[in-house]
Structure formats: structure tokens, C-alpha cells
Amino acid sequence: MTGRNNTTRTDAKSWHRRQLFFDKAGAYGVIACSVLMTILLFSIIFFVGRQGLLTFQAVSPIDFFFSAKWEPTAGAFGAASFLAGSLLTTLVAILLGAPLGLAGAIYLAQVAPPAIKKILRPAVDLYVAIPSVVYGYMGLTLLLPFLRDNLGLPSGFGIFSAGVVLAIMIFPTVLSLSADAIHAVPSPLEEGSIALGATWWQTLRHITLPAAAPGITTGIILAMARAVGETMAVEMLIGNTPQLATSLFQPTATLTSNIVVEMGNTPFGSAWGNSLFLMAFVLLILSLFLILLVRHFSARKEAA
């Protein structure tokens, strides 16, 4: 009896020790997983950056960023039109997509009856699941003819068409993250406002939305990052012409579209190939910058 008791005790002891070991190993394990994220990010920056920066052996940075003359066969690598194209397209997409996403989020979080709520959530996820090639194809066959017939444009290719399709592709990101943020606002805060006699809209505008602002901003920034980086749909609709756009309806090009159009047909390691990697690197830096921007804003908000 006692012997048996003993074994259980030693068993329990080693079991306990094992648990303590797991506890420690688990902690190290999850730290390793997390550090891997940093390693991955840096290796991406390193590989893409190293290849891209080789461009500057042949091209001056000033030419690359400020000239719009893209004649690789003649040695002119001015990427300004791609930069401008990426930024403008993203701007159009956000201007159209963010309000729709935010309105949808408010609807989902506070207005919709439960039955519609149940459909809306998965419906929004479905938008994300439609391949960008399909979006591009629908843009090509539905949106462009529509724009041509109604606005009298010669072709319809350009920043506007790409921006509209992008807006549809990115608003779900704004919607999901904003809806989460609105949900996360502590209900006593809202109840207090209502109790003080504020209407639903007043409460939403002055209490809920400001409280959810960091989450909403994150959603918009992530959507911007998606818009800047989206490739296939934009490539099908922007026109891919290396010229500075003077109107929203003129074909131009973006960083991503030019990479995907020219990548397969440029010698790897040549100034031309490297310059495409440099564009990818610029995209990378741009998205890192966006993230830092969010940080800066949300930090200031918390401090205030």
C-alpha cells in the first residue's frame, strides 16, 4: 500500500517536473516562433533589397525616383510614373473603399438585424475569396465597356478603373477590422452616453467611433497596403504604359503592374532586372512606412 503510494508520489513528482519543463519549453518555443517572424521579414528585405540596390551601379537614384523616362533598352530607368501610378491608384481605391467599408462595419456592428448579420459576415469574407484575376476579368468585360459607353472614353484603361476594382477588393479589410474595433468598444461607455440622453448617432459619432479609431485606422492602412501591392487585377486594368498620368482616365502603370509585365522577359542580374527588384524593394519600404505611420498616429492618440 505504502509502496504504491510512493510510486504515485514519485510519478506525480516527475509528472510535475515534466509539466514545469513543458512550461519552459513552451515559452521558448513560442518565442522562437515569434522571432522567426522578424527573421523572415529581414531576409525578405535583405534578398529583395540586395538585388534591387544593385540598380544604382547603373542608374543614379535621382533619375530612378524623379524621371519618368522608362527606356531600359536605351539605359533610361526613370520609375517616377510607376510610383505616381501606384500612389494615385491607391488613393482612389481608399477614397472609394474606406467609406464603404466603414459604413458596412457600422451596419454590421450596430444596425443590421441578427438574421442579416449572420449572412453579412461570411459574405464579406467571400469578397476576399474571389481571385484577383476574376476581379480583373470582370473589370475588363463589365466596367470598361460601361465607362466607355457612359463617359465617352476611348478605352477606359487607367487609374480610375483600376481604383474602382481595387476599392471593391479592399473594402472587406476595412469592414472586418472596423467591425471588430467597434464591437470591442466597452458597452458601458455607450450605455453611459445613451443614458445621458444622447441619440444613437451622437453616441456612435462621439463615443464609439473615436474609441474604435485605432482599429479602424489599422484597417484602412492594411487596406492601403493591399491596394499598393495588388498586382493582377491592376495589371489588367491600368494600361501598363510608362507615362505620367495627367488624368484619371489615361493609361499609366504601377510598380506592381510593371514588375509582373516585365519580370519574365528581363535578364536576371541585368540593370533592367535589378531595377524591377528595386521597385519591389520600394513597395516593401512603402508598406513598412505605412506601418510606422499607423504606429506614430496611434501612439499620439494614446498619449493625448
Partner 1 sequence: MLTPKSADKCMRTLFWGAGLFILALLAAFLIYLLAKGLPHLTPAFLFGKSSDIMAGGGIGGQLFNSFYLLLLSMVISLPLAVGAGIYLAEYARETYLTKAIRLSVESLATVPSIVLGLFGMILFTTQLHLGFSIAAGALTLVLLNLPMLVRVTEEAIRTVPATYEEASIALGATKWQTICRVVLPAAAPGIMTGVTLTAGRVLGETAILIFTAGTTTSRFLFDPDVTAGGETLAVHLWYLMSAGLVPDREAISDGIGATLILAILLFNLLLALPLRALSKRQG
Partner 2 sequence: MFFKKTMLLAGAALLSASALLFTGCGGGAAGTDAGLSGKISASGSTALLPLLKPAQEEFQNANKNVTVSIAGGGSFTGMNQVAEGSVDIGNSDVDLPEEYKDKGLVDHKVVVEPFVFIVDKENPVKNLTKQQAIDILTGKITNWKDVGGSDQKITLIHRAKSSGSRATIQAVVLGSASFTDDAIIQDSNGAVRTAISTTPGSIGYVDAPYADDSVKVLAYDGVEFNAQNIIDGKYMLYGYGHMYTKGEPTGAVKAFLDYVLSDAFQNSQVEKLGFIPVNKMKK
Do residues 254 and 227 touch, judged by C-beta distance below 8 A? no
Using CB under 8 A, which of 78, 97, 101, 156 touches partner 2?
Answer: 156
Do residues 262 and 197 touch, judged by C-beta distance below 8 A? no
Q: Which does 193 bind (CB under 5 to 8 A by kind): partner 2, partner 1, none?
A: none
Regarding 72 and contact with partner 2 (CB under 8 A), the answer is yes
Regarding 141 and contact with partner 2 (CB under 8 A), the answer is yes
Do residues 174 and 201 touch, judged by C-beta distance below 8 A? no
Which 234-263 residues touch partner 2, going by CB under 8 A?
A: 235-236, 239-243, 251, 253, 260-263
Give whichever of 47 and 66 is closer to partner 1, judged by the CB atom. Answer: 47
Give whichever of 93 and 238 is closer to partner 2, judged by the CB atom. Answer: 238
| Three cell numbers, residue 53 | 540596390
Regarding 132 and contact with partner 2 (CB under 8 A), the answer is no
Q: In whole angstroms, how close is the CB of 56 to partner 1 at the nearest point?
A: 18
Regarding 211 and contact with partner 2 (CB under 8 A), the answer is no
List, in sequence order, every residue forming a beta bridge with 77; answer none if it has no partner: 70
Distance in Å from the first CA to the final CA of the chain: 68
75: left (phi over 0), alpha (psi -120 to 50) or beta: left
Q: In whole angstroms, how close is the CB of 63 to partner 1 at the nearest point?
A: 22
Q: In whole angstroms, how close is the CB of 199 to partner 1 at the nearest point?
A: 5
| Three cell numbers, residue 284 | 516593401
Q: How far apart are CA 164 and CA 161, in angstroms?
A: 5
Q: How far apart are CA 4 and CA 11, in angstroms?
A: 10
Q: Which does 131 bind (CB under 5 to 8 A by kind): partner 1, partner 2, none?
A: partner 1
Helix (H, G, I), strand (E, B) or coil at 256: helix
Using CB under 8 A, which of 11, 71, 125, 191 touches partner 2?
Answer: 71
Regarding 83 and contact with partner 2 (CB under 8 A), the answer is no
Residues 6+ apart with CB under 8 A from 295: none
Do residues 94 and 224 touch, judged by C-beta distance below 8 A? yes
Q: In whole angstroms, how close is the CB of 133 to partner 1 at the nearest point?
A: 5
Q: In whole angstroms, how close is the CB of 59 to partner 2 at the nearest point?
A: 16
Contact set with partner 2 (CB under 8 A): 70-73, 140-141, 144-145, 148, 154-157, 235-236, 239-243, 251, 253, 260-270, 272-273
